[in-house]
Amino acid sequence: DVKVTQSSRYLVKRTGEKVFLECVQDMDHENMFWYRQDPGLGLRLIYFSYDVKMKEKGDIPEGYSVSREKKERFSLILESASTNQTSMYLCASTTAGGYYEQYFGPGTRLTVT
Amino acid sequence: GQSLEQPSEVTAVEGAIVQINCTYQTSGFYGLSWYQQHDGGAPTFLSYNGLDGLEETGRFSSFLSRSDSYGYLLLQELQMKDSASYFCAVKRDSGNTPLVFGKGTRLSVIA
């Protein structure tokens, strides 16, 4: 069964902290994505990666960075968390040719206080 | 810019049929996907239209008209469990370009 897992369902951090969100997929997918989801704004792409050590900026990369050292793992890093980064963060993966069918993780609800 | 328009909310009666529309304006178009997301859950893939016409998967169907830059998701024999948010998403080319998602339509099914 296809599976994308995220390190935490809920996370509370303080302003200025460095935050790591981890995503692991077990489907040998080439492509991985990080989105944030806010009410009324839908899914907004932060970063994506189509290969190990490769990364591309999405629509809202400011304040975030990513790391992909292994094919199955894609990490999202908030260098210095701010309250406007309080959100639901969703990771997804897909095969190289299957961009239209993405598999999502359960999400991490991050609160920055 | 990229723009996908879909209604923010739709309410329908259990057992009825509901159509959720999606109109897109994107730099390039390759296909249209639909995703379902229940409250507190992850989005899950429902369907994909790469060609004009209707694709049917059980109670759900999806339609695409490239000439009108328009598609819709049709849900038949509505059940309470269909209450969820539905997102359309455009694939702009055959390469490594990410999907562009609409803001979602919240469907409420009432008895």
Cβ pairs A/B, distance under 8 A: 53
Q: Is A6 exposed, middle or buried (0-12, 13-18, 19+ CB in 10 A)?
A: buried
Do the beta carbons of residue A33 and residue B35 sit within 8 Å? no
SS3 call for B109: strand
pLDDT in tens, A6-26: 999 999 999 999 999 999 999
pLDDT in tens, B52-109: 999 998 999 999 999 999 999 999 999 999 999 999 999 988 887 889 999 999 999 9
The total number of residues shown for chain B amounts to 111
Among all residues of chain B, which has the CA nearest to that of A33?
Answer: B98
**Chain B partners of A58 at a C-beta cutoff of 8 Å?**
98
**Strand pairing of A103-104 and A108-112?**
unpaired
